[in-house]
Amino acid sequence: MAAAASSLTDKPLDTNQPYTNGVGTRSNANPPGDTRFRFGTWFRLHIIDILTLAAMGAIGLGVYFADPAPSRSFPVYLPDSSVAWPQYAYPLRKEIIPIYAAALIAFFVPFFFITLFQARRRSADDWLTTTLGLLKSLITAAVFQVFIKWLIGGLRPHFYAVCQPNVPTGSQSGIGFANLFYDRSICTGDRKQINDALESMPSGHATAAWAGLFYLSLYLNAQLKVMSAHNPAYWKMVLFFAPLLGATLISGALTIDAYHNWYDVVAGGIIGTACALVAFRQTFASILDFRFNHILLPRATSLAHRQPFITSHGAPYYTYQPGQQFASHDLPFTREGGWGHGGGEQSTGAPGDASAFNVATGFGGSGAGGTSGLGYGNTSHVPQPAREGGVLGRNGGNADTFNGNAPTGHQAV
């Protein structure tokens, strides 16, 4: 392992002393060293992701411009000469929000906040990796939805107006029961518009909007601690919901200009939301746990960087045990709740998790220098009555709740 670490840190790995890793994160236990960001190391660790994103984008574009795969049948007139499916007889209108505008909003609005928050985060690794997570959400969702459009699709509300079917009223010469059904061969309209009108489900606008803006809401919650162990300023709640409102408005506009059915919009929203959730969780240590959802997960290895990437916690993964001191990139943007002031909610237990149980019962995560998962840890600095009572200190100031210690200056309960 020592040899593996040298390429990342330019110094041998001391298993008893955490060290500076290749992208500029320094362990709190390590004396100050070279914490400069190394783009070459970051690029080698993420190059496969970047190439995969490029390949996915190329596949998505190819499928997007392909003709619809299925040959869909549809009626035009009923025997009484009335329009069979009036829900597809809307006029062709101009889009309220073009697809390119929805895509630009879905990327650049989150990217603006990711960049803005670097005023405090001050980490090129954070900026690049968070943006990469956003791209993963957007591109994955886009490819997912274009494949469904291509292989399944559906009729847009303005299909008849685009198709311009050449079927005389009062006579049926189609297929199926009562010869009611036809295919696109009866259409006399523009070929490209007909192709587009056959690929309604799911909505690309809704997919992009929810993939990008829901990712942004998760990011704002993590950085501003909208849902955490303290009562934050109200404007943070407003800001958290603003991207969700934007995604809803973009999606809803498609039902006003009759470019999509309501179920197309719902399907696109589900796809975009699902991709945002997975992309965010792959990038950060948690989705909703306020203690960790602002912390980047480490990238251990890649095909271009085969040597293990050892994090500041001494392992190629995040240990979920925050320390007492933090660099700017280890902290969220907000400073409410004790963040950045040497203590606070970062080391409290979230409701229902194991560490909350440990805090309440006095059981530590590792004991006093031991390796067991259940132990009282070092209690020498806990007042004697508290030790005898069997309940060891609840604290809100540092990570000693994870190893059973009740730090000096905090009241034992």
Candidates 142, 139, 185, 135; CA nearest to 164 is: 185
Contact 79, 173 (CB under 8 A): no
Q: What is the pLDDT of residue 34?
A: 45
Q: What is the pLDDT of residue 382?
A: 40
Q: Which two tokens stand for residue 146?
A: 């274009």
Q: What is the pLDDT of residue 12?
A: 37
CA distance 58 to 158: 29
**202 prior amide bond cis, ω within 30:** yes
pTM given for the model: 0.77
Strands (E), 225-310: none
Angle between helices 204-224 and 99-116 (to 10 degrees): 10
Q: What is the pLDDT of residue 284?
A: 94
Candidates 103, 141, 148, 144; CA nearest to 273 is: 141
* Residue for token pair 């039902």: 255
Phi, psi at 365, each rounded to 5°:
-85, -30
Residue 77 to residues 92, 198, 279, 330, Cα–Cα distance (Å): 19, 18, 47, 65
Which residues does 104 contact at the CB level (< 8 Å), separation at least 6?
A: none
Q: What is the pLDDT of residue 305?
A: 74
* Residue for token pair 């010469």: 173
pLDDT values of the chain reduced to their tens digit, one per residue, 413 residues? 333 333 333 333 344 443 333 344 443 433 344 456 788 888 888 999 999 999 999 999 999 999 888 788 999 988 888 899 999 999 999 999 999 999 999 999 999 999 999 998 888 989 999 999 999 999 999 999 999 999 999 999 999 999 999 887 767 778 888 888 999 999 999 999 999 999 999 999 999 999 999 999 999 999 999 999 889 999 999 999 999 999 999 999 999 999 999 999 999 999 999 999 999 999 999 999 998 899 898 887 888 777 765 655 566 777 777 555 457 777 888 888 888 776 667 666 655 554 544 444 444 433 333 333 333 333 334 444 434 433 333 333 333 333 333 333 333 32
The DSSP result for 338-407, as a single string, is: GTTTT-SGGGSPPTTSHHHHHHHHT-BSS-SS---SSB----TTS-HHHHHTT-PPP-SSSGGGGTT---
Q: What is the pLDDT of residue 35?
A: 53
* Residue for token pair 């040597």: 307
CA dihedral defined by 384, 385, 390, 396, rounded to 10 degrees? -80
Q: What is the pLDDT of residue 80?
A: 84
Q: What is the pLDDT of residue 168?
A: 77
Q: Which two tokens stand for residue 371?
A: 């390796």
Q: What is the pLDDT of residue 393?
A: 37
Candidates 269, 284, 242, 249; CA nearest to 134 is: 284
Q: What is the pLDDT of residue 170?
A: 67
Q: Is the dihedral of CA 386, 390, 395, 398 positive or negative?
A: positive
